[in-house]
């Protein structure tokens, strides 16, 4: 699994916007600001700082087209999320999914219905593995 640097919340918010951008033309600074204003309000210079940090960490690349600067992700969203999930599980739950689910259930974060849904998922995935 590829290793990443953990992103602070503000940088992760920017990355989510870039990952979610579905247009053919990469997203501009102004479009990032417009989308980011729905999550957190930052001035344009603060956004430039976040974008520079993301470039320095190798998460995005940029190019200028006419008057606009455009940004593209260099990191696949799923790869970063998988790394974050694994890191979280290792650090806080001793790499035990059972310990993690138990804590969520004990804290009433998940319900019996959630556990039943998880059970069906596990059963389905286990069956798929046996059929391979």
* Phi (first) and psi of residue 45, to 5 degrees: -70, -35
Q: What range defines the domain where residue 127 resides?
A: 77-131
Is there a single domain that holds both residue 49 and residue 104?
Answer: no
- Residue 130: per-residue pLDDT: 76
Average pLDDT, the chain: 94
Is there a single domain that holds both residue 122 and residue 104?
Answer: yes
- The CA distances from residue 33 to 58, 61, 99, 100, in Å, are 21, 17, 39, 36
Q: Per-residue pLDDT tens for 57-66? A: 999 999 999 9
Cα(99)–Cα(68) distance, integer angstroms: 48
Work out the pLDDT band at 2, boundaries 50, 70, 90.
confident
């Amino acid at each position: 699994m590829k290793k990443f640097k953990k992103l602070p919340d503000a940088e992760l918010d920017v990355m989510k916007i870039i990952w979610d951008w579905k247009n053919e033309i990469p997203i501009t600074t102004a479009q990032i600001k417009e989308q980011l204003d729905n999550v957190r309000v930052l001035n344009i210079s603060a956004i430039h700082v976040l974008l520079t940090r993301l470039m320095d960490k190798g998460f995005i690349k940029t190019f200028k087209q006419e008057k606009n600067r455009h940004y593209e992700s260099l990191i696949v969203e799923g790869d970063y999320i998988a790394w974050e999930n694994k890191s979280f599980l290792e650090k806080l739950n001793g790499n035990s999914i059972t310990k993690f689910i138990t804590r969520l259930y004990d804290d009433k974060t998940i319900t019996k219905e959630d556990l039943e849904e998880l059970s069906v998922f596990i059963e389905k995935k286990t069956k798929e593995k046996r059929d391979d």
